[in-house]
Amino acid sequence: MKKTALVTGASAGIGKATAIYLAQNGYNVYGAARRTDKMEDLKSFGIKPIALDVTKDDSVTACVNQILQEAGSIDILVNNAGFGLEGAIEDISMEDARYQLEVNVFGAMRLAQLVLPKMRENKYGKIVNISSVGGKIAFPLGGWYHASKFALEALSDSMRSEVKQFGIDVIVVEPGATRSEWGNVATDILMKVSGHTAYKDLAAKTHNVFTRLNKDIAEPEVIAKLVRSGIEAKSPKTRYTTSQMASSLLLFLRRILSDKQMDRLIMSQIK
C-alpha cells in the first residue's frame, strides 16, 4: 500500500520538487500551499493540491483532517513551508519577526502535533523538517530567519527522542543555497528593510554575498533526493546536508572554530 506524504510549501522550489519526486517514486502525495493556482501543474503527476496557510490554525486543521479522511493516514510530513526575513534586528518590526516564527516554526510544529496521533497509532511515521545551513550558522542581517531555523533544529532534536519509542523518525534536512524563489525574495526584503538605514552599507555588501552564492547553487531536486533518502532509510541519519563545497566547509568550520573566529571569518566574506 502506498505511503501518504504531505509536503508543505509545494507551490515552488524545494517543496514542489519534493512533491513531484515522491509522487514519481510511488508515494501518494498531497502538495500544500497558500497559492493553489501555482500547484495546478502538480495534478499531472497524480499529486493532490490542497490549500494551506500554516499561520492559521483552522487552515492547518482542515488540511490534516481532509487528508486523514481521504487517505486514512499521513505517513510522511515534509515541513518545507517557509521564507527568509532579512534585515537588521533593529530595523525589523516585532510584528514581522513574529510572522517569521509563525511560518517557519509554529506552523511546522502545529502540523507535527496534528499528524502525530495517527502516526503513533500506526507505529510508523516520518517527520522531515527542512532547516538550512542557516540553522547552524548565523549571518548578520538574518537574525530572525536564523532564529527560526535554530529553533526548528532544537525542536527536531527534542521531538526525535520523544517519538522514537512509537516507531516515528524525525529528520532534519539542511540545504545550502538552492535555486528557488527564496533567494530573490530574501534579498528584496533585505534591501527594503535595511537598504536605507544605518545598516545600508552592510546590507549592500550582504546583497553582493547572495549574488556570489548563486554560483554554487543546488537544484531543488537535489534536496528532494535527500528527503527520499531520509524517509526510506531503515535507520535514517538525524541530519542530511548537501555536498556543496561552500556549505560543507562552513559547517565544518563552525564545529572547529571559536565564536569570535567564526565572526571574523563571516565578516571577511562580506565585502
Phi, psi dihedral angles at 171 (to 5 degrees): -125, 135
| Amino acid code (one letter) for 238 | T
First to last CA, the chain: 54
For residue 144, the SS3 value is: helix
In the set 126, 149, 199, 240, the catalytic residue is: 149
Task: Report whether 110 contacts 37 (CB < 8 A).
Answer: no
In the set 30, 145, 199, 240, the catalytic residue is: 145
For residue 27, the SS3 value is: coil
Which residues, including other chains, have CB under 8 Å from residue 21's CB and lie 6 or more apart?
Answer: 221, 224, 225, 227, 228
Task: Report whether 65 contacts 72 (CB < 8 A).
Answer: no
Closest CA to 13 of 183, 255, 140: 183
Q: How far is CA 228 from the centre of its chain?
A: 15
Q: Is the dihedral of CA 71, 111, 230, 170 positive or negative?
A: negative
Active-site residue flag, 149: yes
Catalytic residues: 145, 149
